[in-house]
Amino acid sequence: MAIRNSQQEAGRGTGSVVVRLHPSTRAQAEQDAANDAAQPAASGYVWPKPVQALLAGDTGRIQLNGVAGSGKTTLLEQIVIARLQQGVPASSITVIAGSKQQAAAMKQRLHAAVPDHYVGGDHLVRSVHSLAFAIVRAAAAKAGRPLPRLMTGAEHDDALRQLLQGQLAEGGQLWPENLRPALAVTSFARGLRDLLLRAAERGMSAPQLAELGRVHHRPLWEAAAATWEEFHGVLTLADKHLMSAAELTSSAVAALRADADLLTDVAAQAEILLVDDVHNIDPASATLLRLLAAHAHTVVFAGDPQQAVFRFRGGSAELLRSDPAFTTVQLGEPQRQPAHTQTVIVPDAMTHASVIAHELRTAHYEQGVPFSEMAVIVRSTAETAALRRRLAALEIPLQQDATDITIAHQPLTAALLLVMESLTKPLTFHAIETLALGPLARGDAVSWRRLQRALVAPAHLHHCSPRQLLLTLVAGDTVASDHSTGGTPPAEAATRGPDLFSAAAPQSATGTSELPLALSAASIDAIIESFTSSEQLIVQRLRRIMQAGHNAYQRGESVEAILWEIWAAADVANSLAEHALRGGSRGARAHQDLDAVMTLFDMAGDFSEHRTGAGLQSFVEWISGQDLPIAGRVRQSAVDAVHLVNAHATVGRQWDTVIVAQVQEGTWPSYGITGTLFAQEELVDLLDFGVPPAQYIARSAERIKEERRLFHLACTRATRSLIVTAIDAPESDPVYEVSRFIDEADARRITQQDLPGLRTVSPPTLVAELRRTLCDETAPDTLRQAAACQLHRLHKAGVAGSDPTTWWGQASIDDPTHAAAVVQGQLALAHATGMPLNQLPTGLVQQATTSMPPAAPDYLTTRLSPSLVETAVTNPLAARLRGIEDDDADLYHLRKGNFVHAVAEIAAVQPLTDDDIVTLSELFTTSVNPPAWRIAAERADIQGQLYALRRALASLDAVTAAAAPEVHCNVTLHPHTVASQLAALAPPEDLAQAANSPAVVAPQATAITITGRIDRLIRTDADEYIIIDFKTGQAVTYEQASRHLQLATYQLALVNGQVQATDLAGTAQPQWAITSAKRVQPQQIDVAKLVFLTAGKDNPVAREQARLDPAQLGAINDTVTVIAYEQAANYALCTDAGNAGHFEQVFTDLAQQRSTTHVQ
């Protein structure tokens, strides 16, 4: 919630009305407002005298009126702070806020304002329903009755719908015959619920409502009263002490009137009674507050009768009506007035979203306003879905109020509920497809189609349909267990659906059974292993999730425990948390997903607590039946995302920048009247004003007035900038007409000609705009030159897409015009000389263009390459699957890397010339055979890297006394060292199990051999060695290079081996190798370097790793030992989360003499 304190808001702008309204609207709108934490001016502001007396400690009764931003809530807070500082105990002060969210925000501000040494109660600030609930529970506890529980709106709605469905099944005799088919309609149940709530808010009972129905000839009221009575009877039989919010306040009033001692106790906690938002208090709550106010010595009712916007919920400004016992105080001008206001009219819905995104990005990137300090306000929740999709497509981070989200419809929680449902009902192919393409299995449409094709062949072998085989792969084990053991936990026996192996199992469209097959685990594993990696992931994730849920279900775990097992098996929490912490539009969606999951866990816990004995199927049906949003527990979490809210949800809130969106005629104002079928408005008028239902009342005018108040409420939420948008498209489908609330004369109209000026302020669009300008031959040369300069700056800063060599589909890079426009000044290549290509050995040239990646080492041996050591720590799964996984996606990069390394070996024999580089670039481009539109870019990229290689070799030769390329390394670590390290790394029983396995060699008897090739080994004049490793990828940081395990492993090998030189026949270049013959002292190593051959750089990027001291070398030795043990004994030590941090800290830990071999 974005509510600021008084110091932050002091001195805000003093502009006029935020929006130019239509003349007929303006007079009413100037009286409209909404209460929130508005701040008065800090310096020079003088409260009215009655208010000053209260702040000084006097008693009194005040009716406080004030428009939005005039400081009503601030005054209530200052009264509390003043009384606390005067020594008044907090237990005698009660502040009633408009909602629990507003109460939480006010409580947070009060805690920040009072001194640190102050200690107060937890219920200083609360909502009126929280107060009523405390009174009812206290009365129940005093009388020895079971404590009641508050029923949420979603629960009430679901219970009424189930009751109506039961009545319909029995013929629906309570209802008029023409309405009986409507009993199954959701809107009918909600209309009935609204009627019952309005009656309960006014203290009525079911018999009283029935009597009104008979007197006024309203058969629906009589039927509603009978249903209400039946509803309470069902709750009583079920021993469920549930109460709706409307019944709660009426029950609290009855309890206080029936028990004078209880009234005395409650009144003692409200000697100072401060009530905010009284214009939205319902009659029953007003009665409760008036009852407490009669016993209080200080009372402040703050609000404004012109701001009431919750009449459809029973809200009334009754407490602000003239009362001789109260002093009426009118606050002055609003202090929250935005300095910038505008109205924008657009021609269509897509332009509408683009305008909103443009304004939000401009405020964020150019004016530094956090996204969390912005809000997009719409008339109702129904309009948020389409706008959310459009803004999300434009990469605007959005957050939605929890009260606007239905748990059963949120994608992640819906998937969790589907898994839980599949544990109690037959699993269907449609359910598997939904889960496979959902957020748990995280599959895509392409992988799903491939999986279905991959199922055809094994299904034919097992004489079944592909669907039947998929059911077996996903849930075969769980179903087999159910079939063999009965599979129904005692707690679920009465509620669970048919078993998956029962006669009620699903059938295909042709009548063929889709029951899982009786396949062995080995057969299932063999089928899964025949799939590609992406197909395996889908099946394995689904199988793991279903197995985890099934195991917990069979153990008879609670609903909450089963949900936890499914959630843990899904393994999406870490990725969601990572995205949430990164922010942006994806981070905002991750926040929303996590909040929804937390709410689902809250509901599961409450369900297990309040419905003892109810099973998993009951929980799923209970959640799925709740179509209304459910407000979860209040959690403080800062999300830097734009608030997308409906107008009613903005009460008590404010933001720096507010966009009131899509103000259309027919939507704002909305002409719909609530409760017409059940004559809800007639009942309210009868009870509140004594107007007989038969008397006709024109309600349209009052409806328009309330809509106008709601619109002005939304327009008074901004502290700095307010923008009102509307669509004017009278000939479109649907028709969009500007609302009567907008003065079109002062609006800014966006036309098709204005659309190019709506720049999307983001890095990708900036690069695209500069690229478009640079490539536009009709643009002025000065403009194109400026675009080239800006692209050069972005490229130097590492902004993606700013490198022209990555712009596929452009003219040939050999075109002088194109080269001058794109490449000049950014990708200039250094001049170099060397021997012609035709003098190089033909075999080496052929090897450079045709060599393939070397075969990966056998993952069951203890031969380790330095690159495998690096991969085993950074990506243990990839290291484990090395050699057996599908590397097609990385084949191009491997070919390019091997090609560059082969050319580096050639260049050690004879330097490269410009002609050589051009020719080799052509050879490589031909060998990889890219699409025609990528040939120029690929050629330029490899050519740039070869130029970088030549410059790197030239700079290295300047400090070289002797050097050798491609130095083979074959160094065996001391066997007894390995055995001693393994003894400290794993329990003896694990070592024994690995040793007895026929597939592996006993690790105690196995030495570790480091094998690989150092790209270039240099011996300096000081007789020290420099290790060079060429890289063709993205450069790492200096910190990452200092911890680079591949370089460290090369140092370890050099320390434990000896460099031996042999002459290569036919050349003067020596051939070196590192063997285990003799150890070299560590100090003979100078440095190890990573040299990144980045095209377009003036000089190659080098990152150094200093010489490792003995302690650090010991740490690397320990690391290599752990990885060797993992590879040989199939024991996943590195995959532990604690070990990841352990390896990251290997150097720093050794510097402080801490052990690095402990495995948790």
For residue 573, pLDDT beyond 70: yes
More confident position, 340 or 673: 340
pLDDT digits (tens, 9 = 90+) for 468-500: 888 888 886 554 334 333 334 434 443 333 332
Please state the φ and ψ torsions of residue 403, each to the nearest 5 degrees.
Answer: -75, -5
pLDDT of residue 1006: 53
> What does the DSSP assignment read for 747-787?
PEEP-GGGGGG----SHHHHHHHHHHHHT-TTS-HHHHHHH
- Give the mean pLDDT of 897-908: 80
pLDDT of residue 927: 74
For residue 26, pLDDT beyond 70: no
Identify which of 327, 274, 270, 277 has the alpha carbon closest to the alpha carbon of residue 38. Answer: 277
pLDDT digits (tens, 9 = 90+) for 326-382: 888 888 777 788 888 999 998 888 888 888 998 998 899 888 899 989 999 999 887
- Give the mean pLDDT of 24-34: 34
For residue 860, pLDDT beyond 90: no
Q: Is 67 annotated as a binding residue?
A: yes
> What is the band of 637 on the pLDDT scale with cuts at 50, 70, 90?
low
> What is the band of 882 on the pLDDT scale with cuts at 50, 70, 90?
low
More confident position, 1157 or 79: 79
CA atoms of 717 and 650, how far apart (whole Å): 7
CA atoms of 954 and 487, how far apart (whole Å): 73
- Give the mean pLDDT of 860-886: 69
pLDDT of residue 567: 92
Q: Which two tokens stand for residue 65?
A: 């009126």
H or E element in which residue 654 lies: none
- Rounded (10°) CA dihedral 648, 654, 656, 659: 10
> What is the band of 959 on the pLDDT scale with cuts at 50, 70, 90?
low
CA atoms of 618 and 417, how far apart (whole Å): 12
Alpha-carbon Rg for the chain, nearest whole angstrom, is 37
Strand, coil or helix: 1025: strand
Q: Across all residues in the chain, what is the average pLDDT?
A: 74
Cβ atoms 360, 657 nearer than 8 A: yes
Please state the φ and ψ torsions of residue 4, each to the nearest 5 degrees.
Answer: -95, 165
Directed axis angle between helix 245-258 and helix 186-201, to 10°? Answer: 20
> What is the band of 516 on the pLDDT scale with cuts at 50, 70, 90?
low
Q: What separation in angstroms does the CA of 1074 have from each of 96, 971, 1012, 1052?
A: 80, 7, 10, 11
> What is the band of 502 on the pLDDT scale with cuts at 50, 70, 90?
very low
More confident position, 443 or 609: 443
CA atoms of 474 and 536, how far apart (whole Å): 11
Q: Is 1033 annotated as a binding residue?
A: no
Q: Which two tokens stand for residue 42?
A: 């800090």
Q: Is 100 annotated as a binding residue?
A: no
pLDDT of residue 919: 84
pLDDT of residue 721: 93
CA atoms of 950 and 903, how far apart (whole Å): 10
CA atoms of 501 and 593, how far apart (whole Å): 35
More confident position, 1143 or 340: 340
pLDDT of residue 442: 86
Tokens 């890095």 belong to residue: 763
Taking residue 605's Cβ as centre, other Cβ atoms within 10 Å add up to 14
pLDDT of residue 25: 36
More confident position, 127 or 1076: 127
Q: Burial code of 1087-1096, b = ≥16 C-beta within 10 A, e = fewer?
A: bbbbbbbbbb
For residue 809, pLDDT beyond 60: no
More confident position, 885 or 202: 202
- Give the mean pLDDT of 457-466: 84
Q: Is 488 annotated as a binding residue?
A: no
pLDDT of residue 287: 87
More confident position, 202 or 843: 202
pLDDT of residue 42: 40
> What is the band of 1152 on the pLDDT scale with cuts at 50, 70, 90?
very low
> What is the band of 27 on the pLDDT scale with cuts at 50, 70, 90?
very low
Percent of the chain with pLDDT over 70: 73
Looking at the DSSP bridge assignments, the partners of residue 864 are 1010
pLDDT of residue 632: 55
Q: Is 66 annotated as a binding residue?
A: yes
Please state the φ and ψ torsions of residue 644, each to the nearest 5 degrees.
Answer: -110, 105
Q: Among 110-114, 454-458, 707-711, name the one with the lowest average pLDDT.
A: 110-114
pLDDT of residue 961: 63
Indicate the residue type of 650.
Answer: T
Q: What separation in angstroms does the CA of 653 have from each of 30, 81, 383, 641, 684?
A: 19, 21, 20, 16, 29
**3-class DSSP string for 414-445:** HHHHHHHHHCCCCCCHHHHHHHHCCCCCCCCH
Residue 1082: cis peptide before it, omega within 30 degrees of 0 = no
CA atoms of 436 and 41, how far apart (whole Å): 57
Q: Which two tokens stand for residue 1028?
A: 């060079």
Cβ atoms 132, 224 nearer than 8 A: no
- Give the mean pLDDT of 620-635: 68
pLDDT digits (tens, 9 = 90+) for 273-325: 999 888 888 888 888 998 999 999 999 998 887 777 787 666 676 666 767 77
> What is the band of 1057 on the pLDDT scale with cuts at 50, 70, 90?
confident
Q: Is 144 annotated as a binding residue?
A: no
CA atoms of 768 and 781, how far apart (whole Å): 18
Q: How far is Cα of residue 811 from the mean position of the Cα atoms in its chain? A: 41
Please state the φ and ψ torsions of residue 999, each to the nearest 5 degrees.
Answer: -90, -10
Cβ atoms 312, 674 nearer than 8 A: yes
824: left (phi over 0), alpha (psi -120 to 50) or beta: beta
Q: Is 788 annotated as a binding residue?
A: no
> What does the DSSP assignment read for 238-283?
TT--EE-HHHHHHHHHHHHHH-HHHHHHHHHTTSEEEES-GGGB-H
Pairing state of beta strands 272-275 and 93-97? Answer: parallel
Identify which of 85, 94, 190 has the alpha carbon closest to the alpha carbon of residue 134. Answer: 94
CA atoms of 404 and 510, how far apart (whole Å): 42
Q: Which of 164-168, 758-762, 908-912 has the highest mean predicted lDDT (pLDDT)? A: 164-168
> What is the band of 634 on the pLDDT scale with cuts at 50, 70, 90?
low
Please state the φ and ψ torsions of residue 757, each to the nearest 5 degrees.
Answer: -80, -10
Strand, coil or helix: 1145: coil
Cβ atoms 1028, 1089 nearer than 8 A: yes
Q: Which of 39-43, 140-144, 496-500 has the highest mean predicted lDDT (pLDDT)? A: 140-144
> What is the band of 33 on the pLDDT scale with cuts at 50, 70, 90?
very low
201: Cβ contacts below 8 Å, ≥ 6 apart: 246, 249, 250, 282, 283, 284, 285, 314
For residue 926, pLDDT beyond 80: no
pLDDT of residue 844: 30
More confident position, 873 or 511: 873
pLDDT of residue 1081: 56
Q: Which two tokens stand for residue 942?
A: 């490899």
Q: Among 600-604, 606-610, 1032-1036, name the one with the lowest average pLDDT.
A: 606-610
Q: Among 416-420, 621-625, 973-977, name the one with the lowest average pLDDT.
A: 973-977
DSSP 823: I
Q: Burial code of 915-936, b = ≥16 C-beta within 10 A, e = fewer?
A: ebbebbbebbbeebeeeeeebb
Q: How far is Cα of residue 1132 from the mean position of the Cα atoms in its chain? A: 31
- Give the mean pLDDT of 1143-1154: 38
Percent of the chain with pLDDT over 90: 9
H or E element in which residue 726 lies: strand 718-727
By 3-state DSSP, what share of the chain in percent is helix, strand and coil, each rounded to 5?
Answer: 55, 10, 35
Does this model's pTM top 0.85? My answer is no
Indicate the residue type of 397.
Answer: P
Identify which of 761, 759, 767 has the alpha carbon closest to the alpha carbon of residue 798. Answer: 767
Residue 50: cis peptide before it, omega within 30 degrees of 0 = no
For residue 1070, pLDDT beyond 70: no
> What is the band of 223 on the pLDDT scale with cuts at 50, 70, 90?
very high
Please state the φ and ψ torsions of residue 632, each to the nearest 5 degrees.
Answer: -80, -175
Taking residue 983's Cβ as centre, other Cβ atoms within 10 Å add up to 11
Cβ atoms 1018, 956 nearer than 8 A: yes
pLDDT of residue 17: 26
